[in-house]
Structure 1
Amino acid sequence: MTLSTSETLNAHRGEGEQTPHARFRVSGMDCGGCERKAVAAATRVKGVIDAEANAAAGTLDVFLEAQTPPDEAAIDQAMRGLGYEVVHDEQTSSAAGVATPETAWWQSAKGKLVLVSGALLAAAAVLRLFWPALGSWPFVAATLVGLYPIVRSAWQALRVGEIFTIEALMSIAAVGALMIGAAAESAVVVVLFAVGELLEGVASSRARQSISALSSLAPSTARRLDGDEPTEVPADTLAPGQRVLIRPGDRVPCDGRIEQGGAYLDESPVSGEAEPLYKTAGDAVLAGTINHDGALTVEVTRRAEDNTIARIIRLVEDAQAAKAPVARFIDRFARWYMPAVVALALLLALLPPLVVGMAWSESVYRALALLLIACPCALVISTPAAIAAGLSSGARRGLLIKGGAVLETLGQVKTLVLDKTGTLTAGAPEVTDIEAWQGIGEDDVLRLAAALERESGHPIAAAIVARAGERDLTLPAVTGGRALAGAGIAGQVDGQEITLASPAHVGGMVSLAPAATTRIKALEEEGKSITVLVQDAVAVGLIALRDEPREDAREGLAALSRLGVNTVMLSGDNPRSAAAIGKTLGIEAHGGLLPDDKASRVAAWQASGRGPIGKVGDGINDAPALATAEVGIAMGGGTDVALETADAALLKDRVTGIAELIRLSRATLANVKTNVALALGLKAIFLVTTALGITGLWIAVMADTGATVLVTLNAMRLLRHRF
């Protein structure tokens, strides 16, 4: 159990203040009906003002009165009364708080009911065969014994105000069948119901395991460095500031920062990034990633309960609790649907005997079968099961989506607005052109420029020095180095005065040849920043730099185009640079925009019918536009911004991930539609056939539980979604 504050509920209610909130792990919840019963029971506990249950994640969130501690014993008792179990802290994974793997089906309460009721039915059939004089009593006994836990569950639900539950309808149908002399069929119905509930539980358990599997990514132990000697300790005891040793082949046990060493790290388990990334001193590492080679000394930066994996799991669970509009509609529909069908069953029992003279036993039998068809379990679970599977599938791919509503909206996006710097481009300038004049070589220009810039921390300086390093150039010593305010840098190399400065500054120092001036203007028109190298009052070359598009930018934009999504780039960079990048990528581009200007453009496009609008950015500088758009997407490699701002986040930090998000959304919505069609179609068919007397009780049970299992299994196909 965890205690925190709820942002989800407050956002849902529109309140500004935080509500004390406790989360419990609950096993045994498998469908929307289970969620409603758990919520009804929890809200009757003193001090609880509201509750939210999430069957897919196996969680119960209770929202408490101010300054009221959660009454764990009362919550535990309320859940046990419904046949559920609160999983306490010692039974959970401390790294992420995810419940331990489910028990084997034959050890669960539902599995035991199947075995007992099945054995009783078989025994009754044998007794009926060899001792016919016993009549229907063996089947009556089998029905009553198998029905007992079902009746008890129905009674507990009734006590918390849940009248129309599948257990209540099942109890009425089974007892009614006994009363009209259909004991054998009643016993079969009890067994089929138990089997259906078990299958539903197994299917739901598999969906939950897709989330809890994330918690197993982080190792359970770590090699903590006490001095220089490693000591093996539980990973969940690591604290910020401590140091750990990570050997080649080890999984990283914590979020941290490399102090010593360098190695290629496989981040695919966490972010979905296919290529291993080389990390060295100063670089951040994430729990659950794999060290391919090289020993690393890492400083712990987050506790286990706050590491990237734990936060992803909490985000996915919270997202599953945030229902999509279609799910909320189906919940409302189901609450009207069940009473309506119960009323229809009463009419079916009463009217035919009174109007057309049908036998009472026949009309009651049809009405009882209709009651079993009435339960909307398959319909209610059709949407959350698909959304839960979609969210889990995305999380395993490094695509984090904050709720079913966001997942639904993503697939409807018509226009996608992208930031330039750090989104479509690498976020740092790169050397694109080196030109030499006056008889010296390109390497000489680069060598002298890098020598001047070696001690500077400016991004342009870093790019020039990095390019010199790529060419293995030996840099000469610089004396008398000095900065030229807002213009460049100067110094002496081998007794010669060397200056590296902007064309405007150089133009006031020396005379540039017409060809050089023409070339500088052409490069500037391409959105490049130019620095000119001057040696002893003679311009001897230039270096052009630009924040270049990401390697996958063109591929990502092409994928969005194939999906029918229009793309636009909004940038705070100067219009010339923005236009140059836009031309390179083939995208509509607008530059020179302040954050509020970007938000205004988004709002104007929404008003003109170009929406729904999606906005992609870093989650901070683009905050107004992210908030204005229907859905905001943050790019970042596991940072706080990527996880906690916007509506969705791309952990693997690739433009192609945006199209993957939209494809996942559309696949999930298609799955939802299929599920709803399956649930309603089967209900409609069997409502008609039952009312006409074509199908009976046991077919009704198979139709109900079978439909539930079908939609759950169909939803689980999303766990294998191909991106």
Structure 2
Amino acid sequence: MDCPACARKVETATNRISGVVSSKVMFATEKLVVRVDEPMLFSQVEAAVIDAGFTLNALDGSSNNTTEQDQPSGWQKTFKDNFHILAISTGMAIAAAFKGSYPAMSEWLFTLTCVLGLIPIGTKAIKLAKSGTPFAIETLMSVAAIGALYLGETVEAAMVLLLFLIGERLEAFAASRARSGVQALMSLVPEEATVIVNNERQSKSASALVPGDIIEVAPGDRMPADGELVSSNASFDESALTGESVPVERLVGDTVMAGAVLADKVVRLKVTSKQGENAIDRILHLIEEAESRKAPIERFLDKFSRWYTPLMMVVSLLVIITPPLLFAQPWETWSIADLHCC
């Protein structure tokens, strides 16, 4: 998701499913929370998200669409993410190069570039319309590009698409940078923990820890959950959570937060936090709650945009059809006038 508007598209698509009570997307942490009346709706929710043009991953990071090995990396990912922009830019550059010597060919190249660039945007607009968001930005861009092509303004049509794609890419980059801090926070909790059972060490998933489990942590390891120190005093680096640059000494009986790094010696602790309730999870919950509380002006703009965009499109359609139908005016004149105004 590139922006909160994408989150609303996912919410709209999933809320349309029969049996779904409510759907909420946490944009910062990229979570989808769905309340249902009946079980076994996961496949329908996943299908709705995919139909809306997005990918749904499980909480463990897996995806039914691609495997980790299939994911591009490095320059391949960069090229794939920016292929659309590069293709349109290259097409426009070639068309501009022929504009002086072969104006007719240049015009056709601009048209071809615009049509090819419009296909994925138009396809996504159709998907969003089917999933309950008919007036998405993709729809408006498609209408604008088609209108510019109708007027013969091929350069403007291609430029509209190029600027839209560049804007989306910058928005995705900004969202990625904003999420990097949240992702770094989520990565503080290790996936595995060493549990002491009958005085023997056993490996256990951190997500499977329950209050009362005795865990052992070695120097340099991070705490997999909130725990009470039971073996001996020890120093912990809590800078990732509190900003304190100097390790803090904890005494027997003190509580140590998840994500803290043990500094000096092997210790044992008793887990005190339930799954999803450790210090890291509480910080993430606060971020999600802060994100869900919209300012009054933001709520107003959300409601305003839901009515303004379709209203303007209806008015535009009336400008095109009313004079020809009621006053016998030429269709072409009012179509061109309306498109120029838009």
Q: TM-score range by the shorter chain?
A: 0.7 to 0.9
1:302 and 2:273 aligned = yes
Aligned counterpart, 2:10: 38
Aligned counterpart, 1:250: 221
Q: Note the alpha carbon deviations across 1:662-682, whole angstroms, 9 max, x for none.
A: xxxxxxxxxxxxxxxxxxxxx
Contact 2:226 2:255 in 1 (8 A): yes
- The within-5 A match list for 1:43-122 is 43-65=15-37, 68-91=38-61, 107=77, 111-122=82-93
CA distance in 1, matches of 2:139, 2:241: 44
Distance 1:347-1:239 versus aligned 2 partners, 3 A rule = same
CA distance in 2, matches of 1:323, 1:139: 42
Distance 1:298-1:212 versus aligned 2 partners, 3 A rule = same
| Deviation of 1:244 (Å) | 2.5
* Among 250, 256, 278, the residue aligned to 1:279: 250
* Among 143, 159, 177, the residue aligned to 2:114: 143
- The within-5 A match list for 1:420-435 is none
- The TM-score with structure 2 as length reference comes to 0.81
| Deviation of 1:181 (Å) | 0.6
More divergent stretch after superposition (166-175 vs 295-304): 295-304
SS of match in other structure, 1:319: helix
CA distance in 1, matches of 2:302, 2:91: 37
Contact 2:232 2:252 in 1 (8 A): yes
Distance 1:263-1:336 versus aligned 2 partners, 3 A rule = same
Contact 2:225 2:259 in 1 (8 A): yes
| Deviation of 1:105 (Å) | 9.2
Contact 1:287 1:309 in 2 (8 A): yes
CA distance in 2, matches of 1:149, 1:209: 28
The residue type equivalent to 2:42 in the other structure is: E
| Deviation of 1:275 (Å) | 5.9
SS of match in other structure, 1:177: helix
| Deviation of 1:260 (Å) | 0.6
Contact 1:47 1:70 in 2 (8 A): no
Aligned counterpart, 1:199: 170
- Higher gyration radius (CA): 1
CA distance in 1, matches of 2:35, 2:205: 32
Distance 1:208-1:103 versus aligned 2 partners, 3 A rule = farther
Aligned counterpart, 1:621: none
CA distance in 1, matches of 2:314, 2:32: 32
Contact 1:261 1:295 in 2 (8 A): no
Aligned counterpart, 2:65: none
| Deviation of 1:344 (Å) | 6.3
| Deviation of 1:104 (Å) | 6.6
The residue type equivalent to 1:37 in the other structure is: K
Q: Note the alpha carbon deviations across 1:571-599, whole angstroms, 9 max, x for none.
A: xxxxxxxxxxxxxxxxxxxxxxxxxxxxx
Distance 1:52-1:249 versus aligned 2 partners, 3 A rule = closer
- The within-5 A match list for 1:626-645 is none
* Among 146, 160, 178, the residue aligned to 1:175: 146
SS of match in other structure, 1:171: helix
The residue type equivalent to 1:42 in the other structure is: T
Contact 1:350 1:363 in 2 (8 A): no
| Deviation of 1:215 (Å) | 0.9
| Deviation of 1:276 (Å) | 4.3
Q: Note the alpha carbon deviations across 1:4-46, whole angstroms, 9 max, x for none.
A: xxxxxxxxxxxxxxxxxxxxxxxxx223432332222112212
Distance 1:105-1:69 versus aligned 2 partners, 3 A rule = farther
Contact 2:98 2:106 in 1 (8 A): no
- The TM-score with structure 1 as length reference comes to 0.41
| Deviation of 1:130 (Å) | 6.0
The residue type equivalent to 1:142 in the other structure is: T
Distance 1:125-1:361 versus aligned 2 partners, 3 A rule = farther
SS of match in other structure, 1:298: strand
SS of match in other structure, 1:87: coil
Aligned counterpart, 1:366: 340
SS of match in other structure, 1:224: strand
CA distance in 2, matches of 1:222, 1:213: 19
Q: Note the alpha carbon deviations across 1:173-211, whole angstroms, 9 max, x for none.
A: 101111111112211221221111111111112222222
SS of match in other structure, 1:251: coil
Aligned counterpart, 2:67: none
CA distance in 1, matches of 2:217, 2:273: 16
| Deviation of 1:131 (Å) | 4.6
- The within-5 A match list for 1:659-670 is none
Aligned counterpart, 1:329: 300
Q: Give the root-mean-square deviation of aligned CA atoms.
A: 3.5
CA distance in 2, matches of 1:56, 1:124: 41
Q: Note the alpha carbon deviations across 1:614-661, whole angstroms, 9 max, x for none.
A: xxxxxxxxxxxxxxxxxxxxxxxxxxxxxxxxxxxxxxxxxxxxxxxx
Aligned counterpart, 2:68: none
SS of match in other structure, 1:245: strand
Aligned counterpart, 1:411: none
| Deviation of 1:70 (Å) | 4.7
CA distance in 1, matches of 2:51, 2:202: 45
| Deviation of 1:304 (Å) | 4.9
Q: Note the alpha carbon deviations across 1:353-375, whole angstroms, 9 max, x for none.
A: x99xxx768634433xx4xxxxx
Aligned counterpart, 1:469: none
Distance 1:130-1:310 versus aligned 2 partners, 3 A rule = farther
Distance 1:55-1:251 versus aligned 2 partners, 3 A rule = closer
CA distance in 2, matches of 1:105, 1:330: 39
Contact 1:255 1:284 in 2 (8 A): yes
Percent identity of paired positions between Structure 1 and Structure 2: 35
CA distance in 2, matches of 1:206, 1:102: 19
SS of match in other structure, 1:69: coil
Contact 1:257 1:281 in 2 (8 A): yes
Q: Note the alpha carbon deviations across 1:142-167, whole angstroms, 9 max, x for none.
A: 11111111111111222233232211
Distance 1:311-1:128 versus aligned 2 partners, 3 A rule = same
The residue type equivalent to 2:53 in the other structure is: G
CA distance in 1, matches of 2:295, 2:106: 53
CA distance in 2, matches of 1:238, 1:139: 60
The residue type equivalent to 1:329 in the other structure is: F
CA distance in 2, matches of 1:103, 1:312: 30
| Deviation of 1:217 (Å) | 1.6
Aligned counterpart, 1:267: 238
- The within-5 A match list for 1:406-555 is none
Q: Note the alpha carbon deviations across 1:377-410, whole angstroms, 9 max, x for none.
A: xxxxxxxxxxxxxxxxxxxxxxxxxxxxxxxxxx
Aligned counterpart, 1:715: none
Consecutive unaligned residues in structure 2, runs of 5 or more: 63-70
The residue type equivalent to 1:91 in the other structure is: G
- The within-5 A match list for 1:228-239 is 230=201, 234-239=205-210
CA distance in 2, matches of 1:322, 1:53: 13
CA distance in 2, matches of 1:291, 1:331: 47
